[in-house]
Structure 1
Amino acid sequence: MATTVVSSAYAQQQTAKLSAMSLEDLLNIEVTSVSKTEQKLSQTAGATNIPDLLRMVPGMDVRQINASSWAISARGLNELYSHELLVMVDGRTVYTPTSGGVYWDVVDLPLEDIERIEVIRGPGGSVWGANAVNGVVNIITKTAAETRGAMVVAGGGNLDQGFGTLQYGGSAGQSTNYRVYSKYFNQGQLPSATEANGADGWRLLRGGFRSDTNLSTKNSFSFQGDIYLGREGLFAKSVPSVTMPSLVQSPEEGTLTGGSLQMVWKHTYSARSDTTLQISYDQYRRDHILAETRGTVGIDFAHHLHWGERQNVVWGVGYRYSASESDGSLSYFLVPANLNIQLFSSFVEDEIAVVRNRLYLTPGAKVEHNYYSGFGVMPSIRAVWLPSAHQTVWAAASRALRTPAENDAAGRVTFGGFTAADGMPVLVGIVGNPKLADESFATYELGYRTRLSDRLSVDLAAYYTEDK
């Protein structure tokens, strides 16, 4: 249990845009299974972290493993570091190539700054790329103009022993708005299965900023960043020596440090054409069984174009460079310990109004080249029929890919060991395969949505996925 006190100069300024935005507005054209959790809902739900918010999304599977770890996915198959879910914060991918998943313990934004969380259940590889197999989560934060004034959040309870946020937003001149914040929490230890101390206490201090500038009527610039420092405990399994017959579980405490910077430039050529350039840098270090440092640079460009009277085209290119250094243990290590990987990508999607306001067809595809498996193509074709203003029928066929993680290709996991008759130590474990290929998934979907009233809507989806 926890109690929260919020004082905010902009708490009453929740824009009519959020309250007026209905799920139907998003679903009218998007030919996929989508849910949207708005900031207003997060305030009334009593959630203190993003995984708790995702519990409210239909089709999302969220399971807490310990105080700082979650197994999260869409349409099942959730596990720690789920490989088939792509997660972004304001369009910046927070997927880590090491595990092939997301470190949810450091995806810790002030919930009051989240405008909405869009969740796409189902494949999205034709636009978002590899690992968008079962779903895509995009956490979208408010602009700085929406968070002017001072905000203080404080609370505590028997598990969330103490948490709080200090934030101030203002303007610099007539064209620039900004906000700065500091956030801290201290999560208590959860009981283990035997009701003993779980040794998984968790605490994190984070600071961040965002500025938005209207350079002209056709150009806008956004710059944001954050930095964090924390510690978390867990029961780790390790092999103390080569002669130990099995893994031994013992409590450990690791250090978490990291931060990110992100720049977005939007240029409008006309009412029918605009471009977006996004450049980001992310770095973190985690000291657990595997001590790992990783730095990632991402560059993404997208061009949106209304072509003729019936076509809405989006195309883009992307590049990502990620460098890692690791220091393992007898229980778990990577070979090679240091690795630099690159990812090149391009995509195109064309929404065609076959019959305006009634029938739409959306073909698209994305091509990627990754370090382990080379080129991969992710095509899709989607159709939507709008029989009335409150009904949507849609169908889709897609191919999505999951690229190998460093754990899969370079991991060495030791379960135990013994001494052979000749006196030589023998280790028992799993060795990664550096020649792994992409996993390919073909998915076929059929859906129906209807809004029965202002308070009640129905969303039905049937899907079949085949791992090829």
Structure 2
Amino acid sequence: MRTALPGRIPTPLSPSSTTFPSAVTTPRSGRSWKLLLLTCILGWLLPSTAETAANKYLDMDLTQLMEVTITSVAKKPQLLADAAAAIFVISQEDIHRSGVTSIPEALALAPGLQVARISSSKWSVSARGFAGYTSNKLLVMIDGRSVYTPAFSGTFWDMQHTLLEDIDRIEVIRGPGGTLWGANAVNGVINIITKKAQETQGGLLRLGAGNQDKFTAGARYGTKINDHTFARLYLSADDRDSNILAASQEDGYDGWQNLQTGFRMDGEEEASSQWTLQGDLFKNQGDQIIAPFWIDRPPYATVNYCTQSAEGGNLTGSWQRSSNNGDRLTLKSYYDYTHREESTYTQTFQILDLDLQYETELGPRNSLTMGAGFRRIHGSFSTSFQIRIPDQTKDLYSVFLQDQISLLPERLWLTLGSKYEHNDYTGSEWQPSGRLLWKPAEQHSIWASLARAVRTPSMVEYGGAFTVGAYPTPLGTGRVQFVGNQEIGSEELLAYEAGYRWQATSQLFLDLALYYNDYDQIYGTVPRRDPPDLNQVWSGNLEGEGYGLELALNWQASRALALTLTYGYQELNLEEKGIPEAGADGVDLSEVTTPRHQASLRASLDLNEQWQLNGWLRYLDQIQGSTSLAHNTLSPIPSHILLDLNLIWKPREDLELMLVGQNLLNSSQLQYITELVTPPTEIERSVYAKISWCF
């Protein structure tokens, strides 16, 4: 029998069932998008009394793209042209011109990422397959601080809401990063890097409002403490309206509010030493519908209209010292506290992380990077009829070593490395990699890599249980559960990658990546045999392959017009070991939630010195989703196109007004059906305006 992933669903056993509405969409009429299009056309035709001048962003020579400094691939500064990995950099200007209001929305700018909005506060963000609300093979960091939850190994995106204007860049690696970043960096690494305090001096005030983003605000003030120390404070607040249910077109009851504040300080003790101290506090709350909501009495399955809330804070400190011969020592530590409450569970995490890194040159041909780390995770949970996770404290120890060898000066480099980790679940894990970079000419970079990465089990998969059905018995209420397995090993990936970057002209830049992933021990579930019952137990019983290509093309068509085209093709095939074809009683959500084709086209046009017009067109191929964790049924989400437009007016250097329209081609659009027990929600067309003032 083909068994279940969190989504490989057993037959429901409740005598009465509460199912989700169908995912079939129903168009709704609306005129707001027409008004926005008219405004954009008028803006295009507005005459300018000043001489037309291209924005600095559009006037940039695209050869500078190859010279962008990144840190996520080698865990130290290097040029994008020298990175033997599939990496894409989302700049602050990209974020600004896109008109997005959240980090997940900005991630859709990168090729190879599948980004879908589930509700006002929920997102599915994944790389190279395995999409889901708790996508667990993608490591997400903010300034090097891991933000995934150890309970499910996924990222709660409603808890990651730093001020967008303070982001310097987002480095998106598609492919494994376990050699440097450790377990869970399987299919990708996202590192959100904020600006240094000295780059955000003075004040910023931003206010916005619209039909969906009812209220959005941000404020920041940066100051110089002394000649060597700079600081900033920020505050952001958001109130987003609810969407609509896909079946009934009624209120989706998924509104969301967020409040976050934080600070950053940067200083230099002397020319060779620098330090950073930063922290955040946040609190948010949202509504949601849970159906079926399993209870221990008739009717067993109900609909629960409830709230979810989260709060927490973090503090990160780093110190770096460089010597005259180029050696560099970095110490970094962070403490992270989060508390999340939902109607089915409550979780509280306290995480302490310590990291040491040393970089040195061993002669003219070898560049060595090494490091060690320690992480302590303490999690406490509430126990309910729906979910049980035992309180626990877990430690993680790690060391890594990576050597970049110059085989041919300025032409050919070989990078070899490995990371060793010891965790309390699976013991010792090795994650080696080898990368080759060849630059046959100044404008060309060709690279290839072979790497092994692992994902260790989450707390739920190792020792937890969650309910997916309830039924009466002579002795009381019986439950069907997904049950943890303390004998489970790590999921394994062996990844083969190759890529090519070409600076064709100063106006044209091409980046291509190909990959083949060999997966083993991927988690599914099998019927529990000891003791035999109706429950499913987690097991590494799946294997398979994933392959595809990712393309990014930047074209500076003129001094006023810039175009960015991205395309991704991906295939994912999984099967239970020893059973080549899926049985009729099982559905592989990991395969059907992965779109085969994705494409994006962004255009940025400077109409004149004061007016800018930006457009973003996205195509997403058909996917499917399960409308209930308790039902073995799939509902298709047809292929669709998303169009965003925004018009920017800068009457003064310190003042900006922006009018934004999102999802303009559809009154509402179903983007994803979560594997959790919330009904399918269509994301409505959004129009909002905002004003930003720098002082």
Query: Shorter-chain-normalised TM-score: which range?
Result: over 0.9
Moved over 6 A (4+): 16-20
Question: Which residue matches 1:136?
Answer: 189
Task: Give the conservation status (yes or no) of the 8 Å contact 1:446–1:461.
Answer: yes
Task: Give the conservation status (yes or no) of the 8 Å contact 2:300–2:471.
Answer: no
Shift in alpha-carbon separation, 1:238–1:344, aligned structure 2, 3 A: farther
Shift in alpha-carbon separation, 1:18–1:128, aligned structure 2, 3 A: farther
The code of the aligned residue for 1:263 comes to G
Measure, in 1, the Cα distance between the counterparts of 2:349 and 2:479: 29
Task: Give the conservation status (yes or no) of the 8 Å contact 2:186–2:493.
Answer: yes
Measure, in 2, the Cα distance between the counterparts of 1:386 and 1:326: 52
Could you tell me which of 374, 378, 381 is aligned with 1:323?
378
| Stretch deviating more after TM superposition (385-394 or 114-123) | 385-394
- Map residues 304-383 of structure 1 onto 2, 5 A cutoff: 304-334=359-389, 336=390, 338-383=391-436
Higher relative strand content = 1
Structure 1 position 23, deviation (Å): 4.1
Runs of 5+ in structure 2 lacking a partner?
1-31, 37-54, 69-78, 521-695
The code of the aligned residue for 1:397 comes to L
- Confirm whether residue 124 of structure 1 aligns to residue 167 of structure 2: no
Measure, in 2, the Cα distance between the counterparts of 1:93 and 1:146: 24
- Confirm whether residue 22 of structure 1 aligns to residue 65 of structure 2: yes
Question: Which residue matches 2:94?
Answer: 41
- Map residues 30-69 of structure 1 onto 2, 5 A cutoff: 30-69=83-122
Task: Figure out how many residues of one structure are paired with residues of the other and give that number.
Answer: 456
Task: Give the conservation status (yes or no) of the 8 Å contact 1:297–1:320.
Answer: yes
Measure, in 2, the Cα distance between the counterparts of 1:460 and 1:20: 16
The code of the aligned residue for 2:181 comes to W
- Confirm whether residue 285 of structure 1 aligns to residue 300 of structure 2: no
- Confirm whether residue 456 of structure 1 aligns to residue 499 of structure 2: no
Measure, in 1, the Cα distance between the counterparts of 2:66 and 2:371: 27
Measure, in 1, the Cα distance between the counterparts of 2:335 and 2:89: 27
Question: Which residue matches 1:400?
Answer: 453
Q: Highest CA radius of gyration, 1 or 2?
A: 2
Structure 1 position 232, deviation (Å): 1.1
Question: Which residue matches 1:192?
Answer: 245
**Larger relative contact order (C-alpha < 8 A, sep ≥ 6)?**
2
- Confirm whether residue 439 of structure 1 aligns to residue 494 of structure 2: no
- Confirm whether residue 269 of structure 1 aligns to residue 312 of structure 2: no
Measure, in 1, the Cα distance between the counterparts of 2:61 and 2:261: 26
Question: Which residue matches 2:480?
Answer: 428
The code of the aligned residue for 1:466 comes to D
Question: Which residue matches 1:111?
Answer: 164
- Map residues 152-231 of structure 1 onto 2, 5 A cutoff: 152-193=205-246, 194-231=248-285
Give per-residue Cα distances to partners, 1:210-256, cap 9 Å, x unaligned.
00111112211110001011211111245453244654332211221
Q: Percent identity?
A: 34
SS across alignment from 1:189: coil
Structure 1 position 171, deviation (Å): 0.7
Measure, in 1, the Cα distance between the counterparts of 2:62 and 2:319: 27
Question: Which residue matches 1:299?
Answer: 354
Structure 1 position 281, deviation (Å): 0.4
Task: Give the conservation status (yes or no) of the 8 Å contact 1:97–1:406.
Answer: yes
The code of the aligned residue for 2:506 comes to D
Question: TM-score when scaled to structure 2?
Answer: 0.63
The code of the aligned residue for 1:450 comes to W
Runs of 5+ in structure 1 lacking a partner?
4-11
SS across alignment from 1:57: coil
Measure, in 2, the Cα distance between the counterparts of 1:261 and 1:115: 19
Structure 1 position 204, deviation (Å): 0.9
Give per-residue Cα distances to partners, 1:150-174, cap 9 Å, x unaligned.
1001111111110111111001111
Question: Which residue matches 1:466?
Answer: 518
Give per-residue Cα distances to partners, 1:243-281, cap 9 Å, x unaligned.
446543322112211010000101112242001110100
Measure, in 2, the Cα distance between the counterparts of 1:429 and 1:276: 46
SS across alignment from 1:96: coil
SS across alignment from 1:429: strand
Shift in alpha-carbon separation, 1:271–1:148, aligned structure 2, 3 A: farther
Question: TM-score when scaled to structure 1?
Answer: 0.93
Question: Which residue matches 2:133?
Answer: 80
